[in-house]
Amino acid sequence: MPRFWNSLIPGLLLLAGGAHTVIASDHVPAPAKSVTVAIPTSLAAAAPPPAVLGSDSHPPASQTTRAVQIGRTGSVTARATAVMAAPRKTALAQRIRAFLEQPRFKDAMWGVDVEDLRNGRTLYAHNARKLFILASNTKLFTASLALAKLGPNYRMDTSLYATARPSGDGVLRGDLLLYGRGDPSLGRRIEGYSSADWAQRLAEALVTQGIRSIHGNLIVDDTYFQGPPITPGWEAEDLQSAFAPSPTALNVQGNVFHLTVSRHGHRCCKVTATPAAAGIHIINLTRQDADNGGNGLGIYRPPGTHRVYVYDHLRAGIRNRKFLLSVPDPALMAGKLLRAAIVSKGIRLHGTVRAVHWPETDPLLSNPHLRRVARITSPPLRILVHHMLKQSDNLYAQLLLLQVGVQTAQTGLCSDRPRRPVNSNEWGLCAMRAFLRHIGIPASEANFDEGSGLSRKDVVAPAAMVSLLDWVRKQPFATVFDKALPVAGVDGTLQWRMRGSAAMDNLHAKTGTLAYAYTLAGYVTDASGRTLAFSLMLNNYLRHMDSQGIPVDPRPTQDLDALADMLADARSIPAAPSVQTFQRQEVGVTTTSVKPVPVGLNPAAISPDPGESGSPLRTQINNLCLPHHLRHVAGPASFYSARQLPRVVHGDLRVPGNDYCDTPPGPAEHCRQRSSYPVLRRPGARPATGGKHPG
């Protein structure tokens, strides 16, 4: 068969046969000899609506790829010989590609997937099916699973039981049992709900029942969740930090305590821990200021112990420092707080406070005389999810996965593994895998180790993330989910980001940050009014350092924000007045589809948007990448805001953060109060810089 027909026939079959088309690409193969063929519009229109409008790569001609994720528009096949649009169709793709190809990203890996939710078309894809560490974007999957499995109005009880009834003289001859069921909000104020006075309320219930004296013990039980308190994949050095507290069935006050280091007169230093119920044993190894400045203050709590070592010194001119650290035994702290409240009501407790942890079993749970005295009910799940996503709270996220695990274990069904799960985390992951199958995400594109994103074993492909976002929009809890996402420049972990850009008060997205891994995923409305679902992932990125080893701008979060602003400022491209040109370079054919102008439509009204083609502002690569608010700024083009954001100097602090300190502007003091934690280092070691940002 002549070479001409070898190249032409596949093109005709592709246009008429219903194959999924890639109608724009920012990867152009080597030029090939081509001919021009006119194709009637009726044939060109036969292709289905879903299309990939931008992609960085195509498989070999002999292979196929799923251009649109199952669960979004179904299984669709695209060949490397797909039809590609004229260059002006790829303005957004060109801008994104120019950004990703900066030399400083040469050793890093970007993953991008952007979908138009109106029609399921993929507007841009880059490494969309490769696995990335997604950090706190994991919480999007956990929130969706919990809302789907438990429902937005699901609540959790923390109950106080007694093993006997009080006698006529007000004496309770038996034990009290405080039993937790995983409420992450106990002792906290969130979203208009408060249980800060939980202990006083339970103690008052004892008074109401006429109890004046208790001849027994106060037992605190957190065995509702099966499994060890250390979550799989969480790094040992994180476990003393407030962003990684132990998720147990009996949580209180966020499972954290306050540590204050202050000068005692002119001497260093006095160290205190509050509340005292945390049971912290302080070992004070601080000393006077060193002449050479030294390394500053160091704090260390060996995992699983109540000992906290404080060493070295406060730097000159600093009167005190305050830190937020994780509690080693949250259930025991809850018991001691309840005991203090009971005593404050004039009730005598003659026994002790004792905690029961997994794998122990509590004999009181099978006591036939056990009766409930009172309970504290959590806010509804929709409020917990709202707090979790806005503030990127790791404790809440893992507890919701464990909660789903308990419910799944009660069914006894986990069919995708040869061995039954042995703890609540495994049961939760079983439910997660079933959930992913239900919404059409293949196992090869998502794998989880826990529910918060602190584990580097949590990996997901950008296409899978967008599939989830698309699926959620069709669920009854879609509004709950959307309102829980941080809003750019307004609240949550995006409060100080993207201000003054097209994304501000528009983009709703979840942040994610670990060392060398940065993500952003959510929804944004572009300049044409299209609602886009997107996933941006940057892995293996080592920030540039100055001569002192301090990271320099731009921050990775600024890189994510620059891409997000491109999406917010993107415009859909109208068709040409009467002719659309598609280049088929891989098979050497250029086809022209003749499209008549609809009756009653002025052809002049279909002219291209000057911002997308022909504008001097778009002729230079750098200007193609300008954020919305810098389009008309004279001078060298920049991907970033011309406004210089104030740098927060962390000194000897590690900033694991929830994206607050990572993304000023914002008062430095606000940043330190929200998310600054002490560095974990040995005496004499150099202070850490950069740190970890699990937000």
Any idea where the domains of the chain sit in the sequence?
155-379
What angle is formed at CA 391 by the lines to CA 136 and CA 271, rounded to 5 degrees?
Answer: 105
CB 424 within 8 A of CB 182: no
pLDDT at 319: 86
Q: φ and ψ at 248, to 5 degrees?
A: -125, 175
* pLDDT higher than 70, residue 534: yes
pLDDT tens by residue, 190-211: 988 999 999 999 999 999 999 9
DSSP secondary structure code for residue 639 in this structure? S
pLDDT at 529: 94
Mean pLDDT for the chain overall: 77
Q: How far is CA 450 from CA 18, 139, 675, in A?
A: 41, 10, 22
Buried b (16+ CB within 10 A) or exposed e, 472-500: beeeebeebbeebbbbbbbebbbbbbbbe
* pLDDT higher than 90, residue 537: yes
Q: Which of 94-98, 273-277, 600-604, 683-687 has the lowest mean pLDDT?
A: 600-604
pLDDT tens by residue, 353-384: 999 999 998 888 888 989 999 999 999 999 99
| Residues whose CB is less than 8 angstroms from the CB of residue 678 and which lie 6 or more positions away in sequence, other chains included | 297, 298, 299, 323, 325, 652, 653, 654
Q: How far apart are CA 398 and CA 432, in angstroms?
A: 13
Q: How far apart are CA 240 and CA 244, in angstroms?
A: 7
pLDDT band, residue 326 (cuts 50/70/90)? very high
With 0-12 CB in 10 A as exposed, 13-18 as middle and 19+ as buried, what is 11?
buried
pLDDT band, residue 90 (cuts 50/70/90)? low
CB 132 within 8 A of CB 463: no
What does the pLDDT average to over 97-118? 96
Q: How far is CA 301 from CA 239, 305, 439, 653, 682, in A?
A: 9, 7, 43, 16, 12
Q: How far apart are CA 465 and CA 461, in angstroms?
A: 7
* pLDDT higher than 90, residue 667: no
Q: How far apart are CA 679 and CA 311, in angstroms?
A: 12
pLDDT band, residue 54 (cuts 50/70/90)? low
**What order of strands is seen across the sheet that includes strand 157-162?**
353-356, 218-221, 176-179, 157-162, 371-377
Q: Report helix, strand and coil shares of the chain as percent, to nearest 5.
A: 30, 25, 50
| Residues whose CB is less than 8 angstroms from the CB of residue 355 and which lie 6 or more positions away in sequence, other chains included | 219, 220, 221, 222, 329, 331, 332, 335
Provide the residue type at 695 as one letter: G
Q: How far apart are CA 48 and CA 557, in angstroms?
A: 37
Give the pair of three-digit tokens for residue 163.
């093993």
Tell me, rounded to whole angstroms, the distance of Cα 82 from its chain centroid: 35
Give the pair of three-digit tokens for residue 12.
């005709």
Q: How far apart are CA 352 and CA 335, in angstroms?
A: 10
CB 127 within 8 A of CB 110: yes
pLDDT band, residue 55 (cuts 50/70/90)? low
Count of residues making up the chain: 695
pLDDT at 32: 39
Which element (helix H / strand E) includes 429? helix 424-438
* pLDDT higher than 90, residue 111: yes
* pLDDT higher than 90, residue 330: yes
* pLDDT higher than 90, residue 636: no
CB 163 within 8 A of CB 373: no
Give the pair of three-digit tokens for residue 486.
């941080």
Helix (H, G, I), strand (E, B) or coil at 82: coil
pLDDT tens by residue, 17-51: 333 333 343 443 333 333 333 333 333 333 444 44
pLDDT band, residue 346 (cuts 50/70/90)? very high
Q: What percentage of the chain reaches a pLDDT higher than 90?
A: 60
* pLDDT higher than 50, residue 324: yes
pLDDT band, residue 685 (cuts 50/70/90)? very low
Strand partners, 84: 583
Strand partners, 113: 125, 535
* pLDDT higher than 80, residue 139: yes
pLDDT band, residue 120 (cuts 50/70/90)? very high
Q: Which CATH architecture has domain 155-379?
A: 3-Layer(bba) Sandwich (3.50)
What does the pLDDT average to over 667-691? 36
Give the pair of three-digit tokens for residue 333.
């702290």
Q: How far apart are CA 541 and CA 135, in angstroms?
A: 14
* pLDDT higher than 80, residue 105: yes
pLDDT band, residue 296 (cuts 50/70/90)? confident
Q: How far apart are CA 319 and CA 321, in angstroms?
A: 7
Higher pLDDT, 70 or 264: 264
* pLDDT higher than 90, residue 107: yes
Which element (helix H / strand E) includes 510? strand 508-514
Q: How far apart are CA 257 and CA 588, in angstroms?
A: 68
Q: φ and ψ at 612, to 5 degrees?
A: -100, -25
Give the pair of three-digit tokens for residue 685.
């070691």
What does the pLDDT average to over 329-340? 97
Helix (H, G, I), strand (E, B) or coil at 402: helix
Higher pLDDT, 82 or 53: 53
Helix (H, G, I), strand (E, B) or coil at 534: strand
pLDDT tens by residue, 578-623: 333 333 333 333 333 333 333 333 333 323 333 333 333 222 323 3
Q: How far apart are CA 524 and CA 33, in angstroms?
A: 41
Higher pLDDT, 541 or 641: 541
Give the residue from 237, 409, 241, 415 showing the smallest Cα distance to 328. Answer: 241
Helix (H, G, I), strand (E, B) or coil at 576: coil
What does the pLDDT average to over 312-325? 88
Strand partners, 593: 39, 580
CB 461 within 8 A of CB 131: yes
Tell me, rounded to whole angstroms, the distance of Cα 537 from its chain centroid: 11
| Residues whose CB is less than 8 angstroms from the CB of residue 472 and which lie 6 or more positions away in sequence, other chains included | 144, 478, 481
| Residues whose CB is less than 8 angstroms from the CB of residue 254 and which lie 6 or more positions away in sequence, other chains included | 184, 187, 188, 242, 245, 395
Q: How far apart are CA 527 and CA 569, in angstroms?
A: 5
Q: How far is CA 659 from CA 198, 572, 591, 676, in A?
A: 30, 32, 49, 11
Q: How far apart are CA 683 and CA 694, in angstroms?
A: 25
Handedness of CA 132, 488, 565, 83 (dihedral sign): positive
| Residues whose CB is less than 8 angstroms from the CB of residue 51 and which lie 6 or more positions away in sequence, other chains included | 20, 21, 22, 23, 67, 121, 122
CB 128 within 8 A of CB 53: no
What does the pLDDT average to over 240-268? 91
pLDDT at 366: 87
* pLDDT higher than 90, residue 267: no
Which element (helix H / strand E) includes 162? strand 157-162
